[in-house]
Amino acid sequence: MKPLRHPFSENETWETQTHSRKGKFVRRWDRLVERWSRDFGSSFVEDYSLAGAERHRALHRRVYDGRIEVTEHRIRLHNLPASFDGLRIVQLTDIHHGLFLPFHAVLDAVEMANRLQPDVIALTGDFVTYSRGYIEPVAAILGTLRARHGVFAVLGNHDFRVDAGAVTRALQHHSIEVLRNRHTLVRHAGQALPIAGIDDFRYGADLPRALRGIRPGVPTILLSHNPKIIRRAAVHQVGLVLSGHTHGGQINLPLAGTVFGRKPEQMRFRSGWDRLGPTQIYVSRGIGTVVLPVRVRCPAEIPQFHLQPHELGREAQLRRTAES
Ligand SMILES: [Fe+2]
């Protein structure tokens, strides 16, 4: 598939492409979906039904084989060490394991992530919604994720509301490194890449503490559940922020728009790629749902990022040469 040019990519730091796979039909459900699609004027109605387990399995196969999108993005970072050229990061966010998103659906998302054979997996919070009972099950499934350089996580606002300590312990028990206002170094071929993580924006996020010890100019990947961190991240010259939290709006009606408002500028830093000064951000639509067990024109997403060193444009090269 041909890479698509993003409207913001004039400085050649970001490109994307998407693909999804078709799954099996549940006839009765499809009739309902078709009716909704006609009503909403779109075919993008995703379901997270509360129906029985047998039907659930089939529905979620449909959702996760037919509606989940694996989106691919090339991210160019200044000063990226040569040994990390081509590093692939897969992000899973807002799983919200619970009634709306049962065990098999989480398992399907994990299988899809593993099939991508990533170097790093980033989990950006909201593993559960309201119930402690889902903490251990979701951690156990996520414990089957496989990435060459490790699986790293931060907590979301729902994790804090349920029990941040219990979520942290469960994830760590299943070999997932939880980054709570700290960073770690991914090492490869004698070079290191910092991956930092902060607690949720409203529950004690401490970016200076998370970045302490990272030298200026070193490209850093920051995991932050809430994309609101973007302004502070730009001040600290973070290279790339990976976020979730917004579910991409979750329900995107043709006339009413998303829950965040109708205008595209109101969705800035709330869905997809953007940049603020030296900092790029990607906000994934995530996997699960809250409040209502539906997505409308806003499919679940697993983004995959391909890191590349940013090469200066000719003009910038000339300017830098003249300055030196
Ligand atoms: Fe969420």
Higher pLDDT, 65 or 311: 311
Domain residues for the domain of 112 are 4-311
Q: What share of the chain in percent tops pLDDT 70?
A: 73
At residue 275, does pLDDT exceed 50? yes
Tell me, yes or no, whether 170 lies in a domain: yes
Q: What is the CATH number of the domain that holds 239?
A: 3.60.21.10
Tell me, yes or no, whether 201 lies in a domain: yes
181-194 per-position pLDDT tens digit: 999 999 999 999 99
At residue 30, does pLDDT exceed 50? no
Tell me, yes or no, whether 317 lies in a domain: no
At residue 319, does pLDDT exceed 70? no
What pLDDT is stored for residue 67 in this prediction?
A: 72
At residue 136, does pLDDT exceed 90? yes
CA angle 90, 16, 123 (to 5 degrees): 20
Poorest-pLDDT segment among 166-175, 206-215, 252-261, 310-319:
310-319
pTM of the predicted structure, to 2 decimals: 0.80
Question: 84-87 contacts: CB < 8 A, separation 24 or more?
Answer: 84/186, 84/188, 84/191, 84/193, 84/307, 85/307, 85/308, 85/309, 86/306, 86/307, 86/308, 87/119, 87/120, 87/149, 87/193, 87/306, 87/307
Tell me, yes or no, whether 324 lies in a domain: no
Residues surrounding ion ligand 1 at CB below 5 Å:
94, 126
95-129 per-position pLDDT tens digit: 999 988 889 899 999 999 999 999 999 999 999 99
Interval 47-59 mean pLDDT: 35
Cα of 85 vs centre of ligand 1, distance in Å, is 31
Cα of 1 vs centre of ligand 1, distance in Å, is 30
At residue 284, does pLDDT exceed 90? yes
Confidence class for position 18, pLDDT limits 50, 70, 90: low
Cα of 35 vs centre of ligand 1, distance in Å, is 28
Cα of 48 vs centre of ligand 1, distance in Å, is 15
What pLDDT is stored for residue 52 in this prediction?
A: 32
Cα of 296 vs centre of ligand 1, distance in Å, is 16
Q: What total number of domains does the chain contain? A: 1
The distance from CA 42 to its chain's CA centroid, rounded to whole angstroms, is: 25
Give me 278's structure tokens. 């030296």
Average pLDDT, the chain: 81
Tell me, yes or no, whether 60 lies in a domain: yes
Tell me, yes or no, whether 323 lies in a domain: no
26/51 Cα distance (integer angstroms): 13
